[in-house]
Structure 1
Amino acid sequence: ALSYFGTDQSQVARYLSGKTLTESRLGLMFNGLLKIPMQFIILFIGVMVFVFYQFNQSPLFFNESAVAQVYANPENKEKFQSIETAYAKIFEEKRDKVETLALSEDDTEIERLKEDIKNIEQEEEKLRDEAKSVIQSTNPNLETNDTDYVFISFVMQYLPAGIIGLLLAVIFSAAMSSTASELNALASTTIIDIYKRNIKKDGSEKHYLVASKLFTLFWGLVAVSFATFAGLLDNLIQAVNILGSIFYGTILGIFLVGFFIKKIGGDAVFIGALIAQAIVLYFHFYTDLAYLWFNVVGCGAVIIISWFIEIIKNRNS
C-alpha cells in the first residue's frame, strides 16, 4: 500500500495536481479511504456470484461461443449434452445438500454435509474436464479456460437489459479513465526523466508536446501487449499485483533513502536499486516466496545495499 500510494506515478501525479499541500494531503487521505472499500466491493461481488451459483445451476462451460461450436458438430453435440445432463443431475443433489447445510444446527450433520458437498464438487470438476476435452476435440484452438466469462455470463443471463447497458457504460468509462491517466503518467515520466534530460535538452515546447504524444502511443502499445499476455493467465488481479510487487519495493526503497537517509549518494542508490531488482527477480523466478513479500525484499535490499556501497565508497575516497 505504501509503495502504491506513495511512489506510483499515477498517484503522485494526483498529489502534484493539488493547488496546496492541504489539497494534496486530502487527496491522499480520500484515496486511501476509498480504495480499500472499493477493493472489498469488487471481491464481494465475486463472492456473491459464487453463492448465487450454489443455489442456481451454472452453465457447464461459460464461454457460449465455444459451446455453440460444439453444438454445430453432431457427434460432439451428443457427447456434450450427455455431460450437461449428468451435470444438472449432480447440481440438484448438491443444491439440496447446500440448503440443508444452511438450515442445519447439528455440528455432526454439518461436517457430514460439508464432506458430501466437497465430493460432489469433485464430480462436477470431472464433468467440466470432460466437457473441455469435447471442446478441444471440436476445435483445438478454442480456449478452455472460461474463468473470464463467469461474471459476464451472469450479467447477460440474470440482469435486466437496462442494467446491462448501464453496467457496460460504467466499465468502459472506468477503463478509459484509468488507462488515460496511466498512459499520461508514463509519457510524462519518460519525457521529463529520460528524453528531456538525456536526449533532447534544448527542444521547444511544441517538440516536447509531439514527443509526449508519441511516447503515449508507445506505452499504449506496451499496455496492449501486456493485456494480450495477461489474457492467458488465470487471474488478472493476481497478475497485476505480482507485476507491481516485483517493482514497487525497489521504488519505495529509493524514495525512503532519498527522504530519510541523506548521506547516501545517488550513485550508491542507483547501484543498490539495480542489485535489489535483480534479487527480487531471482526470488520471483527461482523461489516459492509469496509475491507480496517482494515489496519488503526490494525495499530492504535497496536501503541495505546502497548503505554498504556508500560506506565502501567513502572509505576508498
Structure 2
Amino acid sequence: MQTLDWIVLIGTLLLIVIYGTYQSRGSKNVKDYLKGGNTSKWWTIGLSVMATQASAITFLSTPGQAFNDGMGFVQFYFGLPIAMVVICMVFIPLYHRLKVYTAYEFLENRFDLKTRTLAAILFLIQRGLAAGITIFAPAIILSAVLGWNLLLLNIIIGVLVIIYTVSGGTKAVNVTQKHQMVVIFTGMIIAFVIILNKLPEDITFTKALEIAGASGKMEVLDFSFDFNNRYTVWSGLIGGTFLMLSYFGTDQSQVQRYLSGKSLKEMQIGMMFNGLLKVPMQFFILMVGVMVFVFYQFNNAPLNFNPAATEIVQTSEFAQDYNDIQSQQELLFKEKQALIESLVSNDDIRNSEKLALLNFENEKLRSDARTLIEKAGTQQNIKVESNDKDYVFIHFILTNLPKGLIGLLLAVILSAAMSSTSSELNALASTTTMDLYKRNTSEKSETEMVKASKWFTLAWGMIAIGVACVANLAENLIQLVNIIGSIFYGNVLGIFLLGFFFKFVKGNAVFTAALITQVLVIGLFFLNQYEIINLPFLWLNFVGCAIVIAIACLLQYLNPNTHARA
C-alpha cells in the first residue's frame, strides 16, 4: 500500500466515526438512544437495513463464492421480497401499534415473561457470535494479505465501532450507515469498471459473459430438489423466505433499524426499498466475482490466493510438490489462453466444452494444492486456511487497482464491517437493557436507562472483540454467519408465528416447545455435519419453524387448561 492509500483509508474511516459521533450527540432519554427519536426517513431505514446485512463478509466472500461456484448463490436471496411483503403487512404494523423497543416485548404481551426472556437469550447468543464473526472476517483476511497483526486489527475495528455506537446509539448507527453504503456502492462500481477495462480490448462485456458461461459460472437457476445442491430455487424460496422472515422480522439488529422510523408508512416503504434493491445488489456483487474469474482467464492467477497458506507450504517438505503443481498450472494457463484466442476470433465461445474442461482441470490442480497446504499445516502444527474463496477479491484489489483506489476498497471492506457490527452491538444492548435489565430490576429513571444502555453496548463490544480474537476458520465466512443464524432463526420465527396466528396456544406450551426445538435443531445440524443425514443449513430455518409450531400445538392440545400467562 502506498501513502495515498493510507490517507484514503484512514481519512474515510475517521470521517465516518467523527460524523456519526457528532450528528448523534445529546441523546437524553431511552427513546432517543434506542429508537433514534423516531425520526428516520424511509431511505435511511432502507439503507440502514441493507448496511446491517451487508457486512464485510458480503464484499469479501461473495465475489470469491462467484469466482469458485458461479452465480447460483443469488438464489439464496429469492425469498427476500416475499419476506418483505409479509413483514410489512404483519410484523411492522403490530410492532408500531404496541410501541415496542424490541421485538421480544410482543412475546410477553402475547405469552409470558419467560417466553420473552428465552427468545431474547436465543437472539443474544446467535447475534453475539455473529458480531464477533463480522469483526473477525475482514481482520483475518487483511491480516493474511497485508501482514497486519490479526489481534490488533480485531481491536481497531471493534474500538472504532464502539466509539460512535456507545456515543449516539441507534441514531449514530443509522446516520453512519447511510454514508457507509455510499462508500460501499462507489467502491464496488469502481472495481467492476476497472475489471472490465483490464480485459483485452477485443473482449467485450458480452464476450466476457460467454467465457464465464462456457465455464459454468452463469448458471443462475437450479430447479432440482437435490439436497446435495446447497443453493437452489426451492431452498431460496422456502428456506430463504423463512430465514429472511426471521432475520428481518424477529432479529433485533434489523427490527431496531425500522423501529426508528418516523411513521408506519416510512417503516414499510423503507423495508420494501430494501426488498427491491437487495437481490440486484447481490447479483451485482456476484457478477463482480464472475468478472474477476474472467480476468484471470487472461492473467496468471496464484495457485492459492491466501499468501499465508502459500508461505506455509513453501517452507515445508511439500514445497517441491507444490511448485510442480504450479508449473502444471502455468502450462494449463498457456493452453487456455491459446484456446480462448481461437474461440474469440471464430466467435465460438458460448458452447466450448474444451474451455470448461480446462477450467475443471485447473480446479483439480487448486484442490491438490489445498491438500498439500493442509498437510504442511498439520506437519507444522499450524492452523491454516487452505480454502481461498475469501481471499480472491482482496488479492485482485491489492495487485491490480491503482494507488488511492486500493485505500478506497479497503475502506469499503472495513466500513461494511463497522456498519454491520454497530447495528449488532446496538441491538444486543437494546435487548439486554429492555428485555433483561429493565424487566427484572426496579423502576429506573431515563438517565439511568440510557447510562445502562451505553454500558451494555460497551460490554457487548468487548465480547464481540473477544469472540473475534478466538474465532475459528471456516470454509466460507458468508456461509458461516448464515449457518449460525439458521440454527436459531427457525425456532424464534416459529415462536412469533405462534403468537400471530395460533391464538389458542398459550405461554407454557410455547416455552416448552421452543426449548425442545432448539435442542433438536442443534442435533440435526451436527448430524448433517457428520454426514449422518443430508439437510443443508438453509432448510434448518423451515424445519425449526415447523417443529416448534407442531410441538407447541400438540402440547396445548394435550394440556388444554394451560393458562396464557405464567
Q: Which residue of 1 aligns with 2:331?
A: 89
Letter in 1 for 2:446: E
Letter in 1 for 2:489: Y
Q: Does 1:8 align with 2:220?
A: no
Q: Does 1:268 align with 2:514?
A: no
**Residues 1:137 and 1:304: Cα distance change in structure 2 (over 3 Å):** closer
Q: Which residue of 2 aligns with 1:53?
A: 296
Q: Does 1:196 align with 2:438?
A: yes
What are the Cα deviations for residues 207-227 of structure 1, in whole angstroms up to 9, with x where unaligned? Answer: 333332332233224433444
Tell me, yes or no, if the aligned pair for 2:487 and 2:521 is still in contact at 8 Å.
yes
Q: Which residue of 2 aligns with 1:31?
A: 274
Higher relative contact order (CA 8 A, sep 6+): 2
Alignment of 1:115-194 (within 5 A): 115-127=357-369, 129-130=371-372, 132=373, 136=377, 140-141=381-382, 143-145=384-386, 146-194=388-436
Tell me, yes or no, if the aligned pair for 2:304 and 2:369 is still in contact at 8 Å.
no
Q: Does 1:306 align with 2:552?
A: yes
Tell me, yes or no, if the aligned pair for 1:49 and 1:151 is still in contact at 8 Å.
yes
Structure 1 distance, partners of 2:544, 2:383, is 39
Return the offset for 1:155. 0.4
**Residues 1:246 and 1:79: Cα distance change in structure 2 (over 3 Å):** closer
Letter in 1 for 2:534: D
Among residues 525, 534, 541, which one is paired with 1:288 in the alignment? 534
Letter in 2 for 1:270: F
What are the Cα deviations for residues 50-78 of structure 1, in whole angstroms up to 9, with x where unaligned? Answer: 2222222101332335656777x699877
Q: Which residue of 2 aligns with 1:21?
A: 264
Tell me, yes or no, if the aligned pair for 2:487 and 2:540 is still in contact at 8 Å.
yes
Structure 1 distance, partners of 2:560, 2:374, is 65
What are the Cα deviations for residues 131-178 of structure 1, in whole angstroms up to 9, with x where unaligned? Answer: x37964995536252433221111011111122111122222222122
Tell me, yes or no, if the aligned pair for 1:55 and 1:95 is still in contact at 8 Å.
yes
SS of the equivalent of 2:559 reads helix
**Residues 1:137 and 1:24: Cα distance change in structure 2 (over 3 Å):** closer
Tell me, yes or no, if the aligned pair for 1:69 and 1:138 is still in contact at 8 Å.
no
Structure 2 distance, partners of 1:128, 1:258, is 49
Structure 2 distance, partners of 1:137, 1:2, is 42
**Residues 1:53 and 1:266: Cα distance change in structure 2 (over 3 Å):** same
Letter in 2 for 1:89: L
Residue identity (%): 50
Letter in 2 for 1:10: S
Letter in 1 for 2:357: E
Return the offset for 1:112. 4.8
Return the offset for 1:306. 1.2
> Where in structure 1 are there 5+ consecutive unaligned residues?
none
Return the offset for 1:39. 2.0
Structure 1 distance, partners of 2:384, 2:472, is 11
**Residues 1:83 and 1:118: Cα distance change in structure 2 (over 3 Å):** closer
Q: Which has the larger radius of gyration?
A: 1
SS of the equivalent of 1:314 reads coil
**Residues 1:151 and 1:208: Cα distance change in structure 2 (over 3 Å):** same
Letter in 2 for 1:257: L
Q: Does 1:42 align with 2:285?
A: yes
**Residues 1:20 and 1:234: Cα distance change in structure 2 (over 3 Å):** same
Q: Which residue of 1 aligns with 2:11?
A: none
SS of the equivalent of 2:277 reads helix
Structure 1 distance, partners of 2:333, 2:428, is 49
What are the Cα deviations for residues 212-269 of structure 1, in whole angstroms up to 9, with x where unaligned? Answer: 2332233224433444565500101111111111111111111111122222212221
Return the offset for 1:85. 3.8
Return the offset for 1:284. 0.6
Return the offset for 1:127. 4.8
Structure 1 distance, partners of 2:457, 2:467, is 15
Among residues 228, 231, 245, which one is paired with 2:486 in the alignment? 245
Number of aligned residue pairs: 313
**Residues 1:19 and 1:164: Cα distance change in structure 2 (over 3 Å):** same
With normalisation by structure 2, the TM-score equals: 0.50
Structure 2 distance, partners of 1:99, 1:224, is 50
With normalisation by structure 1, the TM-score equals: 0.84
Return the offset for 1:304. 1.6
Return the offset for 1:104. 6.8
Could you list the runs of 4 or more consecutive aligned residues of structure 1 that deviate by over 4 angstroms after TM superposition?
65-71, 73-83, 98-107, 127-130, 133-140, 228-231
**Residues 1:13 and 1:124: Cα distance change in structure 2 (over 3 Å):** closer
Return the offset for 1:11. 1.8
